Structure 1
Amino acid sequence: MSDESPEHGWGCEYVPDAAHVTDGLPPEGLAEVARIIRGLLDLAELRMEAGNDYDEQNPRKLRSISTDKLILWYQKFEHRQRIYVVRVTWFG
């Protein structure tokens, strides 16, 4: 399932699917996930990295980004221009 998939440019997908990754999140959590994804896509378009967990030796490693209420784990694939969200943990 694709969250953001423009014809050209960066897009986001949930692995295995959005229902599995975001299961049980309240509306506030879903909104926070959408905000984070939009920010990751904007940074990707600018060829920038979010945070300092980028590893040049292992560019496809699982990365995370957190707020005060959640942690989102993702992978970024430059050649596919895709961000894959694989897990979200909600603390709210």
Structure 2
Amino acid sequence: MTSRGEGVENDGGWAWECDPSRVWVFGDMPTEQQCLVEAVMDGLVDLASMAIDPKDGSLYEDPHPMRLRTYEDEHLLLWYQTIPHRCRVYLKRVNL
């Protein structure tokens, strides 16, 4: 997987964006950690474009499709929102 970066669409027309802004979400986070977050977001966009949520399965069966979601691994915790009609995944918050 190559990093596409914020606002760059994948083959399905999906992209991710920081909400409300990159400065608010990332703050003074070191560049290395920002790259890690960007790689995870690229993966979440790819899954969303296939209507898959990494935690809950199909987005087609989700009774609350625009709810705030979380993704976590041993390095970080992300809060994000998937908006299918805009083909966007909005990154709301990051905890390292």
TM-score range, shorter chain: 0.7 to 0.9
In 1, distance between residues paired with 2:32 and 2:73?
Answer: 13
**1:64 aligns to what SS in structure 2?**
strand
Letter in 2 for 1:34: E
RMSD: 2.2
Aligned residues: 89
Write the deviation string for residues 47-67 of structure 1: whole angstroms up to 9, x where unpaired. Answer: 222222867221111001012
Partner residue, 1:12: 16
Q: Gaps spanning 5+ residues in structure 1: where? A: none
In 2, distance between residues paired with 1:16 and 1:48?
Answer: 24
Partner residue, 1:57: 63
Letter in 1 for 2:33: G
In 2, distance between residues paired with 1:10 and 1:30?
Answer: 20
Partner residue, 2:91: 85
Shift of 1:27: 2.2
With normalisation by structure 2, the TM-score equals 0.79
In 2, distance between residues paired with 1:20 and 1:67?
Answer: 22
In 1, distance between residues paired with 2:51 and 2:91?
Answer: 18
Letter in 2 for 1:46: M
Question: Which of 55, 66, 71 lines up with 2:72 in the alignment?
Answer: 66
Q: Gaps spanning 5+ residues in structure 2: where? A: none
With normalisation by structure 1, the TM-score equals 0.82
Shift of 1:15: 0.8
